[in-house]
Structure 1
Amino acid sequence: MNNQPHLIPADAVKGIASGLLMMACFTLIWAGIAYGGLHGTAYAWGLIPFPVLAIAFVINGISLFRIAGHFPKVESEEDKAEEKKRGKWFGIVFGAEGLGIFIAINVVINIGHPELTIPVIALVVGLHFYPLARVFKRTIDYYLATWSTIIAVLGIAFSLNHTLSQPNVSAFTGIGIAVATSCYGLYMIYKGQELQGLIPTN
């Protein structure tokens, strides 16, 4: 019998499952923002992969919740302390992200550039991946942070210099961040499949 599942706590499996559900939600939100910019154009059909991926994230997330029972509930004291520390910093980063979005929106509105609302939200979202990379010790967060930040900065630039119309800026930014959340979701599916492979068959 393969005893590898006992090395991974059930909470870790549920964490990936929860992450998949979150990525499904965020992917739909950003794809919806993109759709708002592309509505009425033939390009809107190009957004179909995003809801398809969101459905896949939900299905895989539910599957992981179901198999979590095959993994031990008890962790070592060291693991519990580390998980508590990660949870604390995740809460701090998440809270800072919400505060940052609130401040960013108010700043652009008060300086007379409400059209920058979507790009600055994307900027805060992109930047929040950097501390998460350290909290969860995941290299992929650095890539997603850099990608999302570049998309946001370009969105701001395209809006200020009128390279793109406002709807197109929303579409550009929405698609860019939806790509990031989709990649994150696909990464979580990959990690989830690795965990499913650790379940003993006898």
Structure 2
Amino acid sequence: MSKHMIPRVAVRSAAFGVLFMAFFGTLWAGIGIGGLQGWGFLWLLILSLLFGFTLFIGGIMLIKASRKLSNEMTEADSRRFMRTGTWFGIIFGLEGVMIGIASAICSATNHFDFFFPVMAIIVGAHFFPLAHLFRIRFHYIAGSLLCLLGAATLLLMPARVPLGNHQIVTWWVSVGFGSALILWGTGAVVLLKGRWLLNKGLNGPKQ
């Protein structure tokens, strides 16, 4: 990217990253809520939706603010953004295939409790190429945390524990809420970077 020019697409790429984190973070929170088997359902659902919605609004506002930037970019930047979009599609597609395979194996072997911890590891692994692709170092941290969370859940926690009249699916609760917090936190970091890019584009390279 040109040192003295921040194109609109750069800020919008960050904004769409925020939207992704808001959406998938909220889905993971839903997995955690499901693992509680009805315990605290309403309040946890409201809280999760509030977190996700707040982050989602931040991404939408960033998209709107990016309209102030020029969409002009150098030929080199244009090629790089096109390559980035292509590789993102490939990485995201491979992640989906791996998750589908994991789901099929866990279902076929009647061990579906394993699925969400394994999925957390797959999601974590996909952050490593994204960190290089988008030049966001924090993605390495997010990927490592997700992989560690999934592995630690499988190795150190019982799959289920009783809680009053409920049978809690501990693995789902752990990776569900843990992954949600990691993704929401990552979304907040990407949002801050997007705002920094926006300010730099509007006010010049000194920002």
| TM-score in same-fold range (> 0.5) | yes
Unaligned runs of 5+ in 2: 162-167
Deviation at 1:178, TM superposition (A): 0.5
Residue aligning to 1:66:
64
Q: 1:94 aligns with which of 92, 95, 110?
A: 92
**Residue of structure 2 in register with 1:121 after alignment:** 119
**Going by fraction, where is helix more abundant, 1 or 2?**
1
Counterpart CA distance in 1 for 2:115 and 2:153 is 10
In 2: Cα distance, 1:10 partner to 1:182 partner:
24
Given residue 34 of structure 2, which amino acid in structure 1 is its aligned partner? G
Does 1:179 pair with 2:177? Answer: no
Please tell me whether the aligned partners of residues 33 and 44 of structure 2 are also in contact (alpha carbons under 8 angstroms): no
Partner of 1:31: 29
Counterpart for residue 190 of structure 1: 192
Distance 1:130 1:90, change over 3 A: same
Q: Quick one: structure 1 residues 195 and 130, their matched pair in 2 at CA, closer, same or farther if it must change by over 3 Å?
A: closer
Q: Within 2, Cα distance between the matches of 1:155 and 1:44?
A: 25
- For the Cα contact (< 8 Å) 2:22–2:52, is it kept in 1? yes
Decide whether the 8 Å contact of 1:13 with 1:65 is kept in 2. Answer: yes
Which stretch shows the higher mean deviation, 191-200 or 137-146?
191-200
- Corresponding residue for 2:143? 145
1:75 is matched by which residue type in structure 2?
M
Asked whether the 8 Å contact 1:119–1:156 carries over to 2, the reply is yes
Equivalent of residue 168 in structure 1, options 161, 167, 170: 170
Cα distance in 1 for residues equivalent to 2:195 and 2:11:
11
Residue pair 2:23, 2:56 contacting (<8 A) in 1 also: no
> In 2, distance between residues paired with 1:73 and 1:196?
13
Aligned residues: 195
Partner of 1:138: helix, strand, or coil?
coil
Asked if the contact 2:66/2:198 (under 8 Å) is kept, the reply is: no
CA distance in 1, matches of 2:195, 2:151: 35
Alpha-carbon shift at residue 197 of structure 1 (Å): 3.0
Q: What's the Cα RMSD here?
A: 2.4
Stretch deviating more after TM superposition (41-50 or 4-13): 41-50
Which residue of structure 1 aligns with residue 77 of structure 2?
Answer: 79
Alignment partner, residue 165 of structure 2 = none
Displacement after TM superposition at 1:36 (Å): 1.0
Match for 1:103 among 98, 101, 104?
A: 101
Asked if 2 retains the 8 angstrom alpha-carbon contact of 1:158 and 1:164, the reply is no
Structure 2 Cα separation of the partners of residues 39 and 188 of structure 1: 33
1:87-141 deviations in Å (ceiling 9; x for gaps)? 1111110010000001111222333422211111112111111111121122111
Report SS of the residue matched to 1:152.
helix
State the partner residue of 2:131: 133
> Which deviations, in whole Å up to 9, do the C-alpha atoms of 1:53-86 show, x marking residues without a partner?
2122122112111111211111100001111111
What letter corresponds to residue 134 of structure 2 in structure 1?
F
CA–CA separation in structure 1 for the residues paired with 2:35 and 2:109? 23
Percentage of identical aligned residues:
31
